[in-house]
Amino acid sequence: MNLKELLLGSHVKGDIAQDTSYQGSIQRWLPIHSIVDGVVITKDKRFIKILEVLPLNFYLKPESERETIIASYAAFLKIAPNTLQVQVITQKADMSGYIKRMEGYAQKEDTPECQSMIEDNLIKIGELGQSHAMTHRFFIIFQYEPQMRPLQPTAKSIAKRVNEEADTLKRYLDYCGLEVLEPRYADNSVLELLYERICKTTSRRTKLPAGVFDMITRVHGIYVD
């Protein structure tokens, strides 16, 4: 059993099968059936695509460029799926990586003055993290619609069609000056995102181990028919 099967249930191959998870298990109440090529398949047979978008500061752009962005965004809305949603996640910034790196610098620093400056920086970062530091993540979410018309009525084919629709949206967002993150392994990225949203508190102190993705090839964006 791999990590995706452990979190989402054992039916991750081929098309959607009947839910056979046992009563009281996480798989029973979790509405997600599987992840195929970066597309979330729910138990009610919806295919959901989640795109993470890097924001831009519209008001720092020159006026002529603002008009272009507005026109491009209007064009984007015309071709966007009917089920399009925009979600913003705001949470306290995770300073752990930065703090760990600075602590490593402090241990290797031989100059007392520089070491003191690093320690002062760590104190200020800690105070900032506890009070004001916030991060914002922006997502565009849409689902498969009948008019998208996949080549075959299979989970793999529908997921491919949804990803083609996502590529079209990315091009229009690029015209708006917005960058869409494209992770190397789509299934990994979606799995981590769902883990962070479902287990909000636990995910902040316990990350999914990176070594698991190295050991289990199916989690590396590979779908087995």
pLDDT tens over the chain, length 225 residues: 455 555 455 444 445 555 555 566 666 777 888 888 889 998 888 999 999 999 888 888 899 899 999 999 999 999 999 889 999 988 777 677 777 888 888 888 888 888 888 888 888 777 666 566 677 889 999 999 988 888 888 888 999 999 999 999 999 999 998 999 988 888 888 888 888 888 777 777 777 766 555 554 444 444 444
Do both 126 and 147 map to the same domain?
A: no
Number of domains in the chain: 2
The enclosing H or E element of 211 equals helix 210-215
Residue 23: the pLDDT is 64
Residue 171: the pLDDT is 94
Residue 104: the pLDDT is 86
Domain carrying residue 118: 94-132
Do both 22 and 115 map to the same domain?
A: no
How is residue 154 annotated by DSSP? S
Do both 7 and 84 map to the same domain?
A: yes
> Of the candidates 56, 60, 36, 30, which has an alpha carbon nearest to the alpha carbon of residue 48?
36
Residue 223: the pLDDT is 41
Do both 106 and 212 map to the same domain?
A: no
Do both 152 and 116 map to the same domain?
A: no
Cut 0.85: pTM above it? no
Do both 65 and 127 map to the same domain?
A: no
Do both 20 and 117 map to the same domain?
A: no
Residue 108: the pLDDT is 86
71 found inside a domain: yes
Q: Rounded distance, CA 35 to CA 13, Å? A: 10
Q: What is the identity of the amino acid at 165?
A: E
Q: 11-38: string of b/e by CB count within 10 Å (b at 16+)?
A: bbeebbeeeebeeeeebeebebbbbbbb
Do both 15 and 53 map to the same domain?
A: yes
Do both 100 and 148 map to the same domain?
A: no
Do both 74 and 168 map to the same domain?
A: yes
Do both 23 and 47 map to the same domain?
A: yes
Q: Does residue 157 contact residue 150 with C-beta atoms inside 8 Å?
A: yes
Alpha carbon 27 to chain centroid distance? 21
What three-state secondary structure class fits 149?
Answer: coil
Residue 215: the pLDDT is 52
